[in-house]
């Protein structure tokens, strides 16, 4: 089993460059298969989720080439192969193959998603959207069976009962080749949705309104090849901003889009973290005398659920009681008991998380319950006196490109070991 070993308490200094966004990439890759020609994605992060998606593409008879962050996806000989079990279940985002295979073949069989356990993660809104477009949807033995009648998919108006990134993207994928117009109301507005729509439009789709809560899609007959550069990962950027505020002695986080990070920056500002925002970078000054704040996660542009676990260690450097309410995933609390093993005073009462600070952290053996909890433990490990050993790091490697190398370059004492 691989583990991360961190000897904490060392000040970090220098620059770190943010990779392409994981949550865009895992949608862009399935989106690319709808084209009838090769699609080139630039800035693809070197993460386990990408490796898993490439294997799934190859199982679909899609040719791929991945060199230095450039992924070429050639779907010209893709086959409609049912995938009720196996690799496809290894990651949650493989649910995007539902929308993508519906668009390409008018059918598909996709095993139900795995991924991080953050409490219940239903996909009812995805399925509601497919049905509204005229697909037949059967949920059987852990897989979703999708088919269409002779008429194929037909555009319609779909109101999303909850604001969902996954459902918005999945229904968009299905709708790009549907006959006529589809309108998605109460759509999610995350930057990753705009990124997927940018790719689809470059492929010849006709989509308007991405980034607002109403997206309109005019179906087209075919999609062609193109090339596209993925947006920077705002969650990875947010994680390194927390690292910089926690243990930095002057750290520049490069390749960021400030607008995507406004809710996090506002909170860090409220805590007293000193930052300087450049054109596409953010410089974080050494931080002392931080103040505890309250955080409520919301759909974009609210505070991202994916950043609540990674900012939490900063509360150990802050005076007062910090309170976190995660309205997206109220059960996303896996980091709390592990941080407590390191000396934190965290409580979870009726899904409300509180931390008392300041609290010195000490190294301990801890386990990553999910991707962002794991990243939070890395931040805590860098802060702690002594050695922290993190297990279950597969979660972390699913989503953070070269995390060990990037932190080492900043001066961190972190290694990956096999135990
Ligand atoms: N929801 C439903 N029904 C649905 C879909 C969602 O009730 O059909 C609920 C969910 O239970 C949740 C809320 O709607 O309470 C929002 O979920 P959403 O569908 O937006 O989440 P997702 O698309 O499954 C993506 C990211 C997550 C991120 C969430 C929220 C990807 C691959 N995953 O998940 O990222 O937390 O949006 O922003 O894009 C991560 O990166 O660590 C991660 C978990």
**Over residues 372-398, mean pLDDT:** 97
Is 122's C-beta closer than 6 angstroms to any atom of ligand 1?
yes
**Over residues 341-354, mean pLDDT:** 97
Is 290's C-beta closer than 6 angstroms to any atom of ligand 1?
no
Query: According to the model, what pLDDT value does residue 120 have?
Result: 67
Is the model's pLDDT at 258 over the cut of 90? Answer: yes
pLDDT digits (tens, 9 = 90+) for 105-146: 999 999 987 655 666 678 999 999 999 999 999 999 889 999
**Over residues 241-270, mean pLDDT:** 98
Query: According to the model, what pLDDT value does residue 341 have?
Result: 98
The alpha carbon of 170 and the centre of ligand 1 are apart by a number of angstroms equal to 12
pLDDT grade for 348, boundaries at 50, 70 and 90: very high
The alpha carbon of 166 and the centre of ligand 1 are apart by a number of angstroms equal to 6
Active-site residues, by number, are 116
Least confident of 18-27, 109-118, 176-185, 260-269: 109-118
Query: According to the model, what pLDDT value does residue 268 have?
Result: 98
**Over residues 301-316, mean pLDDT:** 98
The alpha carbon of 118 and the centre of ligand 1 are apart by a number of angstroms equal to 10
Alpha-carbon distance 102 to 248, whole Å?
48
What value does the mean pLDDT of the chain take? 96
158 is in an annotated binding site: no
The alpha carbon of 299 and the centre of ligand 1 are apart by a number of angstroms equal to 9
**Over residues 373-390, mean pLDDT:** 98
pLDDT grade for 391, boundaries at 50, 70 and 90: very high
Written in H, E and C, the secondary structure of 166-230 is HHHHHHHHHHCCCECEEEEECCCCCHHHHHHHHHHHHCCCEEECECECEEEEECCCCCCCEEEEC
Is 371's C-beta closer than 6 angstroms to any atom of ligand 1?
yes
Are the C-beta atoms of residues 279 and 415 closer than 8 Å to each other?
Answer: no
Mutate to test the pocket of ligand 1, among 165, 307, 351 (most ligand atoms within 8 A of CB): 165
The alpha carbon of 313 and the centre of ligand 1 are apart by a number of angstroms equal to 23
Alpha-carbon distance 136 to 71, whole Å?
33
Is the model's pLDDT at 377 over the cut of 60? Answer: yes
Is 306's C-beta closer than 6 angstroms to any atom of ligand 1?
yes
Alpha-carbon distance 198 to 80, whole Å?
26
Which residue's alpha carbon is nearest to atom 10 within ligand 1? 121
Assign 3-state DSSP to the chain and report helix, strand, coil percentages, each to 5: 35, 30, 35
46 is in an annotated binding site: no
**Over residues 78-97, mean pLDDT:** 93
Can the peptide bond before residue 305 be classed as cis, meaning omega within 30 degrees of 0?
Answer: no
pLDDT grade for 186, boundaries at 50, 70 and 90: very high
**Over residues 10-19, mean pLDDT:** 98
The alpha carbon of 123 and the centre of ligand 1 are apart by a number of angstroms equal to 9
328 is in an annotated binding site: yes
Which residue's alpha carbon is nearest to atom 6 within ligand 1? 164
Mutate to test the pocket of ligand 1, among 96, 162, 330, 335 (most ligand atoms within 8 A of CB): 162
**Over residues 313-320, mean pLDDT:** 97
Alpha-carbon distance 28 to 387, whole Å?
39
Is the model's pLDDT at 345 over the cut of 90? Answer: yes
352 Cβ contact partners less than 8 Å away, ≥ 6 residues apart: 323, 324, 325
Kindly list the structural domains of the chain, giving each domain's residue range(s) and its CATH number in brackets, ordered by start: 2-19+232-418 (3.65.10.10), 22-229 (3.65.10.10)
The DSSP 8-state label assigned to residue 368 in this structure reads: -
Tokens of 81: 């192969």
Tokens of 72: 């070429």
45 is in an annotated binding site: no
Please enumerate, as own/partner, the contacts of 256-260 that have beta carbons within 8 Å and a separation of 24 or more. Answer: 256/18, 256/232, 256/280, 256/281, 256/282, 257/191, 257/231, 257/232, 258/282, 260/191, 260/231, 260/232, 260/234
Q: CA torsion 308→313→316→322, rounded to 10°?
A: 0
Are the C-beta atoms of residues 276 and 304 closer than 8 Å to each other?
Answer: no
**Over residues 325-341, mean pLDDT:** 97
Query: According to the model, what pLDDT value does residue 274 have?
Result: 98
Angle formed at CA 315 by CA 313 and CA 321, multiple of 5 degrees: 140
Is 328's C-beta closer than 6 angstroms to any atom of ligand 1?
yes
Query: According to the model, what pLDDT value does residue 142 have?
Result: 87
Are the C-beta atoms of residues 199 and 226 closer than 8 Å to each other?
Answer: yes
Query: According to the model, what pLDDT value does residue 114 have?
Result: 62
186 is in an annotated binding site: no
Quote the distance between the C-alpha of residue 216 and its chain's center. 24
**Over residues 239-266, mean pLDDT:** 98
Which residue's alpha carbon is nearest to atom 11 within ligand 1? 121
Local structure of 375: helix, strand or coil: helix
Is 127's C-beta closer than 6 angstroms to any atom of ligand 1?
no
């Amino acid at each position: 089993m691989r583990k991360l070993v961190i000897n904490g308490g060392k000040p970090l200094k220098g620059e770190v460059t943010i990779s392409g966004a994981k949550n865009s990439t895992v949608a862009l890759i399935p989106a690319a298969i709808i084209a009838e020609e090769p699609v080139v994605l630039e800035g693809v992060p070197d993460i386990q989720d990408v490796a898993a998606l490439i294997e799934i593409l190859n199982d679909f008879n899609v040719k791929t080439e991945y060199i230095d962050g450039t992924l070429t996806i050639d779907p010209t000989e893709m086959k409609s192969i049912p995938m009720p079990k196996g690799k496809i279940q290894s990651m949650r985002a493989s649910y995007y193959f539902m929308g993508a295979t519906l668009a390409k073949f008018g059918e598909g069989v996709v095993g139900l998603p795995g991924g991080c356990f953050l409490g219940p993660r239903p996909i009812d809104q995805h399925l509601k959207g497919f049905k509204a477009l005229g697909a037949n949807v059967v949920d059987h033995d852990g897989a979703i069976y999708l088919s269409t009648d002779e008429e194929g998919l037909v555009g319609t108006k779909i109101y999303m009962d909850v604001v969902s990134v996954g459902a918005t993207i999945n229904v968009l994928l299905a709708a790009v080749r549907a006959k006529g117009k589809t309108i998605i109301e109460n759509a999610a507005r995350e930057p990753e949705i705009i990124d997927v729509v940018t790719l689809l439009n470059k492929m010849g789709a006709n989509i308007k309104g991405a980034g607002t809560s109403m997206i309109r899609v005019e179906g087209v007959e075919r999609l062609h090849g193109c090339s596209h550069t993925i947006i920077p990962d705002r969650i990875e950027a947010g994680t390194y901003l927390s690292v910089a505020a926690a243990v930095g002695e002057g750290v520049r986080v490069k390749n960021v889009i400030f607008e995507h990070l406004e809710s996090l920056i506002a909170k860090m500002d409220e805590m007293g973290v000193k930052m300087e925002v450049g054109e596409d970078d953010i410089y974080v000054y050494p931080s002392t005398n931080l103040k505890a704040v309250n955080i409520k996660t919301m759909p974009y542009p609210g505070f991202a659920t994916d950043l609540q676990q990674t900012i939490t260690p900063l509360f150990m450097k802050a005076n007062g009681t910090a309170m976190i309410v995660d309205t997206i995933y109220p059960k996303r609390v896996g980091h709390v008991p592990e941080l407590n093993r390191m000396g934190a005073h965290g409580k979870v009462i009726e899904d409300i998380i509180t931390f008392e600070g300041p609290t010195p952290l000490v190294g301990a053996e801890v386990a990553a319950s999910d991707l962002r909890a794991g990243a939070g433990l890395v931040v805590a490990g860098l802060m702690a006196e002594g050695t922290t050993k993190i297990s279950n790091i597969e979660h972390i490697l699913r989503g953070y490109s070269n995390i060990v190398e990037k932190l080492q370059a900043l001066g961190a004492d972190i290694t990956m070991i096999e135990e």
